[in-house]
Amino acid sequence: MCLAIPGKILKVNGQMAEIDYNGIKKEINISMVDVKVGDFVMVHAGFAIEKMDVDHANDVNRYLAENK
Amino acid sequence: MSLISEINEKAKKIGRPLRFMELCGTHSQTIAEHGIKSLMPKNIKLVSGPGCPVCVTDQSDIDIVVGLALEGIPIAIYGDTINVPGNLMSLEEAGRNGADVQVMYDITEAVEMRKQKPGLVFFGLGFETTAGMTAWAVKEGLIVYSAHKIFPPAMAALLANKDIKVDGFIDPGHVSSIIGMEPYKQFRLPQVIAGFEGEDVLLAINMLLDQILSGEARVENAYTRLVKKAGNPKARKLIEEVFEIADAKWRGLGEIRGSGLKIRKKYQKQDAEFVYRDLIKKIRQEIKPKPSACKCGLVLQGLIESKDCPLFGKVCTPDKPQGACMVSVEGSCNVEYRYNRK
């Protein structure tokens, strides 16, 4: 149920947005988030559930760097 | 040092047997897909919890939606639900018997479809992650039968059962993206919120071991690329506007106080339990519970493993599931059958 895919917002159109999943474009619903063009979001069942933080792209590397 | 060697070293230092429960069905899937159980030191056992929404949906909810379908009401559902055996039949069998049952990937499809099929009922299930989407659809005018649930009360119910021994929780990543870290703080055991890659789960296990080694019991976030401390307030506002907290029945765990989401009176014209109340009353009276040896309820609490069920792999397979845990691709039995059947 929680399978989700990250994608980049290409165009915002009211409560919908066009998103790019690594080359594949799709319309998704953005009613649950505040986003703008260029943001990365996690998409589950056709909805963006939350904005992604690209500065924290790799949690594992961060942990390993902090706990050397 | 790699995560695996860190885990091995720390588990050795702790020495005693440890049981970690992953609460989300998608984590169970990740663990199986990457063979993570086989990478664990002998004293770490990973057990699955009640995080597969299709699995924990109570039998009576399945029976009511099957009943509505058989009465001629068009039904829209998420895919996994279609094969859950009901006391009478599954939604898939109802479809074969002439009922109008439509599988959707996305609830916006149901909102579109209701223009051609007025009276269409969407079977809303899932935790905080999908509840916001359903709330949006209710506001768009879709009629919903809500079996939505919220997660923390189920964790409290698990911890209240003294037979269930857990040393740490791997908290669900996407539920947490909505609810944030705060709701978990009431539970006094080590917890780590994890993402869904193999190494995210390894990282969570490693961080649980760090907490045990230092004698701490905190909520940590190993999925900072998505989960914010305060979660997603906009999604929560949407949920709160449409739903109110109610008691709910969970397969295996029984009725849990304050664990369900019921549509508010303000939106009762979109609440299938109000719109079709007479029909639902009749369906409830006609349900005849069918005895089954299915042990899904015990599997969901981590009390037994799938292979301990006498039906597992014999009469119960993903092609012919006898219970919900074998139906859903993230149900423990389904995952166990696909990845670990000897």
**Domains of chain A, residue spans:** 5-66
Residue B40: C-alpha distances to residues B8, B15, B19, B202 (Å): 7, 13, 11, 9
Average pLDDT over residues B236-257: 95
pLDDT digits (tens, 9 = 90+) for B4-62: 999 999 999 999 999 999 999 899 999 999 999 999 999 999 999 888 888 899 999 99
Strand-pair category, B44-48 with B75-78: unpaired
Burial state string for B73-88 with b = 16 or more CB within 10 A and e = fewer than 16: bbbbbbebbbbbbbbb
DSSP codes, B196-249: SSHHHHHHHHHHHHHHHHTT---EEES-TTT--TT--HHHHHHHHHHEEEEEEE
Q: Give residue B285's pLDDT band: very low, low, confident or very high (50, 70, 90).
A: very high
Q: How many CB atoms lie within 10 A of CB B290?
A: 10
Topology adopted by domain B1-288: Rossmann fold (3.40.50)
Answer whether B200 sits within 8 Å of A32, measured CB to CB: no
To the nearest whole Å, the CA of A61 is away from the closest chain B CA by: 10
Chain A residues with CB-CB distance to B193 below 8 A:
none
Answer whether A49 sits within 8 Å of B238, measured CB to CB: no
Chain B residues with CB-CB distance to A61 below 8 A:
none
Nearest Cβ partner of A59 from B1, B177, B223? B223
Helices (H) and strands (E) in chain B, counts: 17, 11
pLDDT digits (tens, 9 = 90+) for B64-111: 999 999 999 999 999 889 999 889 999 999 999 999 999 998 999 999
In what helix (H) or strand (E) does residue B155 lie, and over which residues does it extend? Answer: helix B152-160
Question: What per-residue confidence (pLDDT) applies to A67?
Answer: 72
User: Would an 8 Å CB–CB cutoff place B133 in contact with chain A?
Assistant: yes
Average pLDDT over residues B300-312: 92
Distance from C-alpha of B114 to C-alpha of B155, rounded to nearest angstrom = 36
Q: What stretches in chain A show pLDDT beneath 70?
A: 1-2, 56-57, 68
Contacts with A, B 179-218, CB within 8 Å: 195-196, 199-200, 202-203, 206-207
Chain A residues with CB-CB distance to B178 below 8 A:
49-50
To the nearest whole Å, the CA of B10 is away from the closest chain A CA by: 13
Domain boundaries, chain B: 1-288, 296-332
Percent of chain B with pLDDT over 90: 84
Question: What per-residue confidence (pLDDT) applies to A53?
Answer: 87
Q: Give residue B261's pLDDT band: very low, low, confident or very high (50, 70, 90).
A: very high
- Cβ atoms of B117 and B74 closer than 8 Å: yes
Nearest Cβ partner of A45 from B52, B106, B175? B106
Nearest Cβ partner of A50 from B24, B202, B232? B232
Topology adopted by domain A5-66: SH3 type barrels. (2.30.30)
Q: Select from B53, B50, B62 the least CA-distant residue to B23.
A: B50
Distance from C-alpha of B203 to C-alpha of B2, rounded to nearest angstrom = 10
Residue-level length of chain A: 68
Minimum CA–CA partner of B29 in chain A: A3
What tokens does B107 get?
A: 């609830």
Question: What per-residue confidence (pLDDT) applies to A68?
Answer: 62
DSSP letter for B291, please: P
Average pLDDT across chain B, whole number:
94
User: Would an 8 Å CB–CB cutoff place B105 in contact with chain A?
Assistant: yes
Minimum CA–CA partner of B180 in chain A: A50
DSSP letter for B272, please: H
To the nearest whole Å, the CA of A32 is away from the closest chain B CA by: 5
Average pLDDT over residues B125-131: 95
Beta bridge partners of B111: none
- Cβ atoms of B235 and A49 closer than 8 Å: yes
Question: What per-residue confidence (pLDDT) applies to B57?
Answer: 92
Sign of CA dihedral B41, B42, B45, B46: positive
Residue B132 reports pLDDT greater than 90: yes
What phi, psi does A30 have (nearest 5°)? -120, 25
| Lowest mean pLDDT, pick from A11-20, B79-88, B217-226, B253-262 | B79-88
Q: Select from B212, B208, B216, B154 the least CA-distant residue to B184.
A: B154
Residue B307 reports pLDDT greater than 80: yes
Say if residue B302 is exposed, middle or buried (CB neighbours under 10 Å; 0-12, 13-18, 19+).
buried
- Which residue, among A59, A66, A68, would best test binding to B if mutated, counting the most B CBs under 10 Å from its CB? A59
Enter the pTM of the model: 0.93
- Which residue, among B196, B224, B228, B334, would best test binding to A if mutated, counting the most A CBs under 10 Å from its CB? B224
- Which residue, among B10, B52, B129, B210, would best test binding to A if mutated, counting the most A CBs under 10 Å from its CB? B129
- Cβ atoms of B106 and B77 closer than 8 Å: no
Contacts with B, A 9-28, CB within 8 Å: none
Minimum CA–CA partner of A32 in chain B: B235
Residue B310: C-alpha distances to residues B180, B273, B293, B296, B313 (Å): 39, 36, 8, 11, 9
Helices (H) and strands (E) in chain A, counts: 1, 5
Distance from C-alpha of B5 to C-alpha of B12, rounded to nearest angstrom = 11
What tokens does B122 get?
A: 């969407």
Q: How many CB atoms lie within 10 A of CB A57?
A: 13
Question: What per-residue confidence (pLDDT) applies to B239?
Answer: 98
Residue B246 reports pLDDT greater than 70: yes
Distance from C-alpha of B331 to C-alpha of B317, rounded to nearest angstrom = 12
Chain A residues with CB-CB distance to B238 below 8 A:
31-32
Chain A residues with CB-CB distance to B222 below 8 A:
59, 63
Question: What per-residue confidence (pLDDT) applies to A2?
Answer: 57
What is the ipTM for the molecules in this complex? 0.89
Answer whether B203 sits within 8 Å of A32, measured CB to CB: no
Q: Select from B7, B42, B54, B48 the least CA-distant residue to B29.
A: B48
What phi, psi does A10 have (nearest 5°)? -100, -40
